[in-house]
Amino acid sequence: MRALRFLALPVLGLLAFGGSLFLAAKALGVDSPVFAFAVVGATLGFVVVTMPVIRWPLPGAVMGIRAWEQSDAVYRQLGTAQFGALLRRSPFRHFNSTVYVRGRPGAVVATRQNMIAAEAAHIWAALLTLPIVAGLAMRGSWIAVAWITAFSVVVNLYPVLHLRMMRAKVEAVIRRRARRDSVLAPAATRQASAPA
Whether residue 107 is contained in a domain is answered as: yes
Residue of 86, 170, 164, 176 lying closest to 122 (CA atoms): 164
Whether residue 60 is contained in a domain is answered as: no
- Confidence check: pLDDT of 192 > 60: no
pLDDT of residue 9: 67
Helices (H), the chain: 2-28, 33-50, 67-70, 73-77, 80-88, 107-138, 142-152, 158-193
Confidence of residue 7 (pLDDT cuts 50, 70, 90): low
Average pLDDT of 48-76? 85
> Three-state SS across 130-166?
HHHHHHHHHCCCHHHHHHHHHHHHHHHHHHHHHHHHH
- Confidence check: pLDDT of 168 > 80: yes
Confidence of residue 182 (pLDDT cuts 50, 70, 90): confident
Q: Which residue has the higher pLDDT, 76 or 180?
A: 76
- Number of separate domains in the chain: 1
Q: Write the CB contacts of 17 (distance below 8 Å, at least 6 apart in sequence).
A: 42, 43, 45, 46
Report the 10 Å Cβ neighbour count for 156: 22
The pTM assigned to this predicted structure is: 0.80
Average pLDDT of 58-78? 86
Q: At 101, is the secondary structure helix, strand, or coil? A: coil
Rounded CA-CA distance 31/42 in Å is 17
Whether residue 61 is contained in a domain is answered as: no
Whether residue 20 is contained in a domain is answered as: yes
Whether residue 185 is contained in a domain is answered as: no
Whether residue 190 is contained in a domain is answered as: no
For residue range 37-51, what is the model confidence (pLDDT) as tens digits? 999 998 998 898 888
Q: Which residue has the higher pLDDT, 77 or 22?
A: 77
Whether residue 183 is contained in a domain is answered as: no
pLDDT of residue 120: 95
Q: What range defines the domain where residue 168 resides? A: 2-55+67-178
For residue range 110-164, what is the model confidence (pLDDT) as tens digits? 888 888 999 999 999 999 999 999 999 999 999 999 999 999 999 999 999 999 9
Whether residue 18 is contained in a domain is answered as: yes
For residue range 72-125, what is the model confidence (pLDDT) as tens digits? 788 889 998 899 888 888 887 777 777 777 666 677 888 888 889 999 999 999
- Confidence check: pLDDT of 16 > 80: no
pLDDT of residue 176: 82
Confidence of residue 20 (pLDDT cuts 50, 70, 90): confident
